[in-house]
Amino acid sequence: MSTRTEIAALGEFGLIRHLTEKIVLKNESTVKGVGDDAAVLDYDGRQILVTTDLLLEGIHFDLTYAPLKHIGYKAAIANFSDIYAMNGKPRQITVSIGISKRFCVEDIEEIYSGLQIACDNYKVDMIGGDTSASLTGLTLSITCIGEVEKGKAVYRSGAKDTDLICVSGDLGAAYMGLQLLEREKSVFAGEKDFSPDFGGKEYLLERQLRPEARRDIIEMLADTGIMPTSMIDISDGLSSELLHICRDSNVGCRIHEDRIPIDFQTAAMAEQFNMNLVTAALNGGDDYELLFTVSLAAYEKIFAMKGVHLIGHITDAPAGSYLVGRDGGEVKLTAQGWS
């Protein structure tokens, strides 16, 4: 009798490792395959980055409150962010879309309008894709192609003991925006005409529905001559992403609760929902901020960089990965983000 292993027993990242750990690269042009934010290919000294994201209705977005134009925009941004997380620049995308009978031509135009606005804002070309009928709703798959100067690609595996841990922007806002939208959806369930009150919470909604990729951070790092030792974008939550870096770099870490950047609206919303604020910031996901490490020698430059926060440091692997609380106590980091 053949064995049956439930996917939940492995989890998302365990499943990826299980499916890909025996892959053997055959082409010299493949510099980096599975295991980072993007693959790295080398063609006559030019390094090309490739990443793909799949978005499914009911899993990654809810059409009750997510406008089609915003879905298109966010789908593009998620891919651009992966390229920036490799210290690269996005250049082209291909778009594949599965459409059920519920959608009309004008609906698809809205999705493509969002995609095109993102491409225009980030100077990226839409170069092709595929279209298919779907029995299960809306499916959107984006492949993004980028480039990085040879020797400048930044992986998850380069963090070293004593490196500083840095994060851009603030965390948890996208998650609180999602909680707000889900609450309003349940409160007004079944009503055709309702006007939820989102006054004063615009930032949270924007972070969830129309995020931005941190091209500005990559440009600032280049302008100041800082080469991160490792980097990843925060799509699944700070805790999960940091543990990716620690595992791939074979290191540990210490991050400090009082240094995690959190916006006022995020804090106010968490209090309203009676949710633990730090938990939301650690595990919320969808922030599309950059998490990266730099050598200790870069401290002064990083400290002076606008929009970048020092939240901790890398340790050796035996020291483990922990969050240091305001009282000095340590809590082991666990990957509780999106799976």
Tell me the pLDDT of the chain averaged across its residues. Answer: 91
The predicted model scores a pTM of 0.89
Residue 247 is predicted with a pLDDT of 96
For CA atoms 274, 280, 281, 286, the dihedral sign is negative
Give tens-digit pLDDT for 16-33: 787 777 767 778 778 777
Q: What is the CATH number of domain 47-153?
A: 3.30.1330.10
Q: What are phi and psi of 68, to 5 degrees?
A: -60, -40
* Distance (Å) of CA 171 to CA 23, 143, 153, 201, 278: 35, 26, 25, 15, 9
* Distance (Å) of CA 50 to CA 88, 109, 194, 234: 10, 26, 42, 18
Place of tokens 């298109």: 72
Percent of the chain whose pLDDT exceeds 90:
72
Residue 189 is predicted with a pLDDT of 64
In this model, does residue 339 exceed pLDDT 60?
Answer: no
In this model, does residue 254 exceed pLDDT 60?
Answer: yes
**Closest to 312 (Cα-Cα) out of 242, 220, 230, 222:** 242
Indicate the pLDDT class of residue 190, thresholds 50, 70 and 90: low
CA–CA distance, 325 with 339 (Å, rounded to integer): 26
CA–CA distance, 156 with 245 (Å, rounded to integer): 5
In this model, does residue 337 exceed pLDDT 60?
Answer: no
Give tens-digit pLDDT for 206-227: 999 999 999 999 999 999 999 9
Residue 44 is predicted with a pLDDT of 78
Give tens-digit pLDDT for 112-140: 999 999 999 999 999 988 888 888 889 99
**Closest to 115 (Cα-Cα) out of 73, 52, 144, 60:** 73
Task: Decide the pairing of beta strands 230-234 and 125-133.
Answer: unpaired
Indicate the pLDDT class of residue 332, thresholds 50, 70 and 90: very high
Give tens-digit pLDDT for 43-74: 877 899 999 999 999 888 999 899 999 999 99
What is the DSSP secondary-structure string of 327-339? TS-EEE----S--
Residue 129 is predicted with a pLDDT of 87
In this model, does residue 5 exceed pLDDT 60?
Answer: yes
Domain extent listing, the chain: 47-153, 164-332
Beta bridge pairs of residue 89? 147
What is the DSSP secondary-structure string of 110-168? HHHHHHHHHHHHHT-EEEEEEEEE-SSS-EEEEEEEEEE-TT----TT---TTPEEEEE
**164-332, which class in CATH?**
alpha beta
